[in-house]
Amino acid sequence: MSDLVQFISDFFGIAKNTSATIFITLLVFTTGQLLNYFTNSIKRTRIRFSQRKIFKQVLKASIRTARKQMAISEEVIDLMNFEKISKISRKRMEFYQFQILKEIGFREFHKAFFQGFESIRFPATNKLRVRTFSKCWEIMKGLEFWVQENYHQIDEFGKKYNLNNEIRNNSLKQLRFFSENLMQFARQFDGQKIDAELGSFLTGYFDIHTKFQKKQNLAPRDVHRNLIIPLRIHARKHPSIKYIPELNNYLLEASLAYENMYNAMKKAREQYFIYSSNFRYYYRTLEKTLKIM
């Protein structure tokens, strides 16, 4: 140390006491800068570690959400028929994970994975990690959208289905009143001679009802196949009967409502098949990205 002080004194042409003061000042300053640098480096390293941990935890939570959404979509597909449709429920899942990533920011997470000595990789490996990191954000954005779309779709389907089911039930109710009035009308002819065309219509009409009442399954599809369609065919055979226009109104309205309900379920099944496929792709891809990151 004395040699260094002597060197400073000789080099700058100043007294030894002054050289010693300068040396100590420089030493303290340099030591302080080094300590500050290492302290900040450790702090930044800990922040990057914490952010990488958060990112991976968010990915794991997103994988679980995607799996659950896939299961919900497959369950809806299975229940999307007239026999099971009453079991469908509106299961809403809040997808908050992507919002967490957005609050911290793309740049901050990018620094966490690709800055610092701990992020040094082979060039090829690093390129793969960069592409994988960008893919994560793309998938998370898509997952956020489809989770919301999944819920809105079941809500929209429910409104369409229930509206047409209400119309159909009202038509069947009117048809029941029509049948009761027709039965009272037919009883007037007990033991009396009746017009052949009218007799044929009444006999066929009540035969269809009798066969239908023996059926135990009253699901919309069975009502349509075993009551509505046979009555429509029977009505076409007797166009001259004055009751046919009123009957056709009830039958056509019930048929149209049934077709709308069927088409709504068909469209929903197709849509939920897409949802299921998307969620399956998302969770499998996120599992792969988690291993790479």
Q: Look at residue 178 and tell me if it is in a domain.
A: yes
Q: Look at residue 245 and tell me if it is in a domain.
A: yes
Q: Look at residue 198 and tell me if it is in a domain.
A: yes
The pLDDT score that the predictor gives to residue 206 is: 92
Secondary structure (3-state) at 216: coil
Q: Look at residue 235 and tell me if it is in a domain.
A: yes
Q: Look at residue 289 and tell me if it is in a domain.
A: no
The pLDDT score that the predictor gives to residue 11 is: 53
The pLDDT score that the predictor gives to residue 154 is: 83
The pLDDT score that the predictor gives to residue 264 is: 93
Buried residues in 96-105 as b, exposed as e (16+ CB within 10 A): ebbeebeeee
Q: Look at residue 111 and tell me if it is in a domain.
A: no
- For the chain, the domain total comes to 1
Contact status, residue 257 vs residue 47, Cβ threshold 8 Å: no
The pLDDT score that the predictor gives to residue 267 is: 92
Question: Distance (Å, rounded) from C-alpha 241 to C-alpha 203?
Answer: 13
The pLDDT score that the predictor gives to residue 253 is: 96
Q: Look at residue 35 and tell me if it is in a domain.
A: no
The pLDDT score that the predictor gives to residue 251 is: 96
CA 93 centroid distance within chain? 9
- Tell me the three-class secondary structure of 65-82, residue by residue: HHHHHHHHHHHHHHHCCC
Which helix (DSSP H) or strand (DSSP E) does residue 128 occupy? helix 123-187
To 10 degrees, the CA torsion angle through 92, 95, 96, 101?
A: -170
7-13: long-range pairs with CB below 8 Å, 24+:
none
Per-run averaged pLDDT (10 residues), the chain, 293 residues: 54 56 63 64 76 88 90 90 82 76 83 72 69 87 85 85 95 94 84 82 92 84 93 93 93 96 93 92 90 79
The pLDDT score that the predictor gives to residue 160 is: 92
Q: Look at residue 204 and tell me if it is in a domain.
A: yes
Range of the domain at 261: 165-265
